Amino acid sequence: MTGVLNLVRRLGAGVVEGVWRIGFATRFFLLLLRYSAQSLLRLHLTIREIYFSGVLSLLIIVVSGLFVGMVLGLQGYETLQRYGSSEALGVLVALSLTRELGPVVAALLFASRAGSAVTAEIGLMKTTEQLKAMDMMAVNPIARVVAPRFWGGVISMPLLAALFSAMGVFGGWLIGVVFIGVDEGAFWSQMQAAVDFRFDVLNGVIKSFVFGIAVALIAVFEGYDCTPTAEGVSRAITRTVVSSALAILALDFVLTSFMFRGQS
């Protein structure tokens, strides 16, 4: 009986803690938006973060995009040639990338590479009292530290996803056309005919923008909210990567069901 009671008690405490955290995160997000204008006016702060989050993630995005595209080229050709439609390889590669793989895989990579770094940086600033020191100097840490990192992530994400997709298409072309010998004209012309700018490309960009907001918000919040100890920072980084991955996949499902319902 006591065991059951304890279980219920723990469950209740967990729910209360969860609701409390969601409330805190919402309040944090509103504060972040409130101080964003102040932070965006000093553009060099955000540009610096675009460099750290975006430019420094280029290598992993470019290389991963290339390999994903090459794998798509191989697998796609393997399947399509059974039905004698290997010329549609370009369409398959481009649609898979712009609609799904580009935004989703780039966001997952971005969360692991840049999201974790942002959480670690803000978490360590909190642990070493840098945020408190800033607050004591009458400089708001949300405006000076958090907002530029958030917007740096939000701006970088769609650009990185676009680059990922472009590299993927290049990888697909490299394998399909250069190595396997699919007809180049068919590869590109079918792609041009079948990929719609509004439904495929733009929806992909919207997806990556939403993922960017989710990943950047989770990363800055986990860093700002972490327990200021070595263990606390390490847990916060883990939470950033895990929560971001779950958020990306769940949001992808929701967005896909809205965007592509009844299309193609």
Question: Which helix (H) or strand (E) is 251 found in, with range?
Answer: helix 230-259
137 binds another protein, rule: CB under 8 A: yes
129 binds another protein, rule: CB under 8 A: yes
Q: Which of 13, 132, 249, 254 binds another protein (CB under 8 A)?
A: 132
Output 127 or 189, the one with its CB closest to another protein. 127
- Separation of CA 212 from chain center: 5
For Cα atoms 119, 219, 165, give the angle at the middle one, nearest 5 degrees: 115
133 binds another protein, rule: CB under 8 A: yes
Output 17 or 129, the one with its CB closest to another protein. 129
Least spacing, CB of residue 142 vs another protein, in Å: 11
Region 142-181 residues binding another protein, contact defined as CB under 8 A:
144
Classify 84 as helix, strand or coil: coil
140 binds another protein, rule: CB under 8 A: yes
128 binds another protein, rule: CB under 8 A: yes
Output 132 or 249, the one with its CB closest to another protein. 132
Least spacing, CB of residue 218 vs another protein, in Å: 22
Interface with another protein by CB under 8 A: which residues? Answer: 124-125, 128-130, 132-140, 144
